[in-house]
Amino acid sequence: MMQLVRMTTLRISALTLVMSLAYQMQVLAESPDLARLAPNDAEFYAEFRGLSELRKRFESMGVWQALRGYAEGDTAESDRWQRQTEASLGMTSDELIDTLLGNRAAIFAKTPADWQDGVVIAELKSPAEVSRLLKRWGVNTKPTPDTVSEHEIGKSLSCATMSNLMILGRADSEDRGYKRAVALLREQSRAHLSGRTDFAALRSHLPETPAGVVYAKWPASHPYSILGCQTLMAGFYFDQTITRCRLVGHLQDEALTHQILPKRFWAHRPNNEVAFLAAHMRNSDGMLATSTPAISSNGLLGGLLNSLVPSSADGTPFAESIGPQYCLSSLTREDTSEPTLPDTAVVFASRAPQQAMQHLEPVLLLLGNLIRLMAPAEASTTDAVVIERKGIGGRRVAMLPWGRLLALRKDFAFLSPIVLAWSTDRDVVGLATSTRALADCLDPVTSGSERSRAKTSDVWDRFDGRDNGVIECAYLRGAAWSKILASWLAYAEEHYPQLANDGWWQVWAADRMMREAQLGLGLVNSKTQEAAAEVREIAVNSPARSKLRTGDTIIGAAGRALDSASPARSVAQRYHDRGASTNFPLIVLRDGKRLRIDLRVPPSPDLRLANFKPITSIRKIGELLGGIKTIAYMRYRAQPGWLDAEVMVDWAKGD
């Protein structure tokens, strides 16, 4: 009898499962692939389902306002476009999400940098909803010969609809993809993004069906590419207060190798840790190091270390004796000074830890004495800085009172608790800003101390691929860092109010940009040649360094003769006014010969910095972090040339 019951139950469960899968397949079949409406040259694409419900969920958690405040206002142009869109549609951004984008929507753009000028594709719940929106907007409908209707919304927007689908784009002549999206909707073209090989390959690597997808492609060696990818796709999954993001991509460096990070470097972490990173160093070829050398001897850091720190007895440079694994930690301190000052600690793997520390100590001692020399004369001590050594927790720990030396400067008293401490244990080297932080970060890595306050970190529990091999991981406790940022801003406002003002940073940035964009020539008005400027000096970073010589006489610049009243100044002014040109031609007299010299130069910098607001951004980031318990990241071992990583955000507020 019991066997019959079990068999019946299994059959009912199987039938239910088959019916559920059939229904899901029917829904997916009826729901169009929105990527088929994006042109195949789009390098940015984002699509989300249930955005309205997601907004309400974030709103109930108290983080929606912070998210929106951080996302809005990137540039003056995007602000203007957003205001025009809201004015044309008669809706606020929240109404747009609930009414137009809430069910399912996508946006595509030619490049990732142009996403705020992108074309919107929306799938509403029914054709009736499309009709209600068109009526509300008071559209001007154009006559069309097919089932695709085209409309004008005011003077700034164009709209195309078919059944419950809608495409929105700017009403201008510039090709942002709107017209080609409409052609795809009419099936007049088949050159769509969904059919592109790289897009399809990345999408097939995402697990399950994500609630949201973001795709981006960058040119080779682009400075803003994420995680070194040429193409990247992120799949988003939402579960109560957890947001999970799976990242897959093609790396720009296809030869990049991967080495698994030993679990002792990341699995157990101290209770008072607020930020953490564990990774491999990169060697001189840019590869993830699998053995020494860990730091390139040819690089800036490696060259500096090797020039300051003597080699070991076998001739190995110091920079090549540490790594490849390391972990970096930020930890809360026991004192409650303002501003809040977290401890910092770094632990390196080392094949010769004792020798590495013996070689590093002279550098740390030298830096300590330099700090003492920079102190005000009336506060500076005459005693030399010396290294103190103590036995702490079974280790021989060396210490330098860097904080006491830094505190000699005015308003730096809060740095006095810092004590630079370092030690070795087995095959690792540790360096920290307090003896407690040193022990907290060495103990879990060496896994031999009964006094360790480390525990198995719960932030890794939800990561599916952690047992397949982790090559990099990191996390940050948001609420703790929100308080830290707030304390630093409050300190700056009290002691350095100019630094707490966006305007000061805008002036600073403009000055730096102008300095870096200078022609780098020392010119004087010629005394022997009318309307000419003589070259007296050429800066090392001048674009004319390899083209001009001191003593050359410039008689023309930017295609015109120089002004006779002030020829030297006219060269500088014309260079300043070059605009987007990357060529700056000069007519030069040298040894009695007339020469045309073309200088390859960068475009004139855009000094419109009204939206460069670093202090405002820090405040917004702090507000956003205040609603986050943890942000965690893991990167898994993958095939060469591939990225496989995961990001997890726990929106439950931390303590």
Q: Of 277-286, 358-367, 372-381, 456-465, give the lowest mean pLDDT range.
A: 372-381
Of residues 452, 320, 331, the one with CA closest to residue 395: 452
Same domain, 300 and 407: yes
**Structure tokens of 38?**
């994006």
Phi, psi for residue 124 in degrees, rounded to 5: -85, 170
- Percent residues over pLDDT 90 in the chain: 40
Question: What is the reported pLDDT for 402?
Answer: 82
Q: How confident is the model at residue 2 (pLDDT cuts 50, 70, 90)?
A: very low
Same domain, 284 and 402: yes
pTM for the model: 0.74
CB atoms within 10 A of CB 233: 26
Question: What is the reported pLDDT for 270?
Answer: 87
pLDDT at 309 over 60: no
What domain range includes position 137? 31-195
Q: Of 451-455, 499-503, 591-595, 634-638, give the lowest mean pLDDT range.
A: 451-455
Q: Give domain status of residue 229, yes or no.
A: no
Q: Give domain status of residue 502, yes or no.
A: no
- Compute CA distances 102 → 53, 90, 249, 510, whole Å: 7, 17, 28, 41
Q: What pLDDT digit, counting tens, does each position of 504-546 carry?
A: 999 998 888 888 788 999 999 999 889 999 999 999 889 999 9
For 473, counting Cβ atoms within 10 Å of its Cβ (0-12 exposed, 13-18 middle, 19+ buried), the class is: buried
Same domain, 287 and 372: yes
> pLDDT: is 409 or 403 the higher one?
403
pLDDT at 18 over 50: no
- If DSSP codes are grouped into helix, strand and coil, which group holds residue 224? coil
Same domain, 407 and 304: yes
Residues contacting 69, CB < 8 A, separation 6+: 620, 623, 624
* Residue found under tokens 């370092």: 422
pLDDT at 292 over 50: no
Same domain, 425 and 530: no
Of residues 284, 201, 223, the one with CA closest to residue 641: 201
Question: What is the reported pLDDT for 29?
Answer: 41
Amino acid occupying residue 109: A
pLDDT at 585 over 90: yes
320 close to 292: Cβ distance less than 8 angstroms: yes
Q: Give domain status of residue 269, yes or no.
A: yes
Q: b or e along 275-296 (b: 16 or more beta carbons within 10 Å of the residue's beta carbon)?
A: bbbbbbbbbeeebbbeebbbbb
Of residues 468, 450, 390, the one with CA closest to residue 646: 468
What domain count does the chain have? 3
Question: What is the reported pLDDT for 170?
Answer: 85
Question: What is the reported pLDDT for 357?
Answer: 81
State how far the Cα of 253 lies from the Cα of 642, in Å rounded to an integer. Answer: 9
Of residues 176, 135, 159, the one with CA closest to residue 38: 176
pLDDT at 184 over 60: yes
The interaxial angle of helices 502-516 and 614-625, nearest 10 deg, is 120
pLDDT at 165 over 90: yes
Of residues 324, 326, 635, 327, the one with CA closest to residue 466: 635
pLDDT at 73 over 60: no
Q: Of 70-84, 435-449, 464-478, give the lowest mean pLDDT range.
A: 70-84
- Compute CA distances 131 → 53, 126, 128, 289, whole Å: 22, 9, 5, 59
State how far the Cα of 234 lies from the Cα of 246, in Å rounded to an integer. Answer: 6
State how far the Cα of 86 lies from the Cα of 211, in Å rounded to an integer. Answer: 26
Q: Give domain status of residue 497, yes or no.
A: no
- Strands in 36-136 per DSSP E: 44-49, 104-109, 119-123
Q: What residues are paired with 554 via a beta bridge?
A: 533, 588
554 close to 532: Cβ distance less than 8 angstroms: yes
Same domain, 172 and 286: no
Domain limit, last residue, from 600, 619, 642: 600
Q: How confident is the model at residue 655 (pLDDT cuts 50, 70, 90)?
A: very low
Question: What is the reported pLDDT for 224?
Answer: 75
Q: Which of 40-44, 93-97, 601-605 has the highest mean pLDDT?
A: 40-44
Same domain, 542 and 435: no
Q: Give domain status of residue 500, yes or no.
A: no
Q: How confident is the model at residue 294 (pLDDT cuts 50, 70, 90)?
A: very low
Q: Which of 252-261, 507-516, 544-553, 575-584 has the highest mean pLDDT?
A: 544-553
pLDDT at 5 over 80: no
Q: Give domain status of residue 483, yes or no.
A: no
Same domain, 61 and 140: yes
629 close to 650: Cβ distance less than 8 angstroms: yes
368 close to 353: Cβ distance less than 8 angstroms: no
Q: Give domain status of residue 525, yes or no.
A: yes
Same domain, 408 and 537: no
The interaxial angle of helices 614-625 and 64-71, nearest 10 deg, is 160
Average pLDDT value for residue range 446-469:
69
Same domain, 391 and 320: yes
Same domain, 387 and 526: no
Q: What pLDDT digit, counting tens, does each position of 458-472 carry?
A: 788 888 777 778 999
Same domain, 189 and 58: yes
Question: What is the reported pLDDT for 39?
Answer: 94
State how far the Cα of 439 lies from the Cα of 270, in Å rounded to an integer. Answer: 10
- Strands in 85-188 per DSSP E: 104-109, 119-123, 140-142, 149-153, 157-162, 165-170
Q: Give domain status of residue 488, yes or no.
A: no
How does the average pLDDT of the chain come out, rounded?
Answer: 81
Question: What is the reported pLDDT for 116?
Answer: 80
CATH number, domain with residue 566: 2.30.42.10
615 close to 490: Cβ distance less than 8 angstroms: no
Mind giving me the DSSP string for 252-321?
A: SSTT----PPPGGGTSEEETTEEEEEEEE-B-TTSPBPSSS--S-TTSHHHHHHHHHS---TT---GGGS
Phi, psi for residue 441 in degrees, rounded to 5: -95, -25
pLDDT at 304 over 70: no
pLDDT at 440 over 50: yes
pLDDT at 284 over 60: no
Q: What pLDDT digit, counting tens, does each position of 549-573 carry?
A: 999 999 999 999 999 899 999 999 9
Question: What is the reported pLDDT for 55?
Answer: 85
Average pLDDT value for residue range 211-229:
86
